[in-house]
Amino acid sequence: MLPLLFVTAIALIDTKGRVLLAQRPEGKDMAGLWEFPGGKIHDGETPETALVREMREELALTVREADLTPLTFASHAYEKFHLFMPLFTCRKWQGEPVPMEGQQIAWVEGAAINDYPLPPADGILKEAIIALLAKA
């Protein structure tokens, strides 16, 4: 039985209908792959409070829990753990994204997400985001 790892992710959607992707920096597992920003849920945190913290730490953004909307989730077995990751959308935040951990970021339009190599769990989420952006 693999240990269960809880993480949370966000699809920041700008006024042009693009979603923000972040590239995993050197030194991290799966470095070079692109992902929806987010991170581990710490003890005592909800997925929403973890995203508020992660957006401040990773991208210097102020996000309010009230502006997060659940969209879908990924459940994926990696070699050493099983990851469970809810994905929230957010269209309202304060500040401009600043990559605080040395990562590259990109605003990506709908189906162009397919041009970015994603970790397997993020790959599970991309179709829901592409479909959502197509409606906008």
- Could you report the per-residue pLDDT of 47-101, keeping only the tens digit for each? 999 999 999 999 999 999 999 999 999 999 999 999 999 999 999 999 999 999 8
| pTM of the predicted model over 0.85 | yes
pLDDT band at 26 (very low <50, low <70, confident <90, very high): confident
9-23, 24-38, 67-81: the lowest-pLDDT one: 24-38
Contacts of 119 (CB under 8 A, 6+ apart): 24, 30, 33, 35
Q: Are residues 27 and 104 in contact, defined by beta-carbon separation less than 8 angstroms?
A: no
- For 69, the domain range is 4-135
CATH number of the domain where residue 103 is located: 3.90.79.10
Paired with 63 in beta bridges are: none
Provide the number of structural domains found in the chain: 1
pLDDT band at 136 (very low <50, low <70, confident <90, very high): low
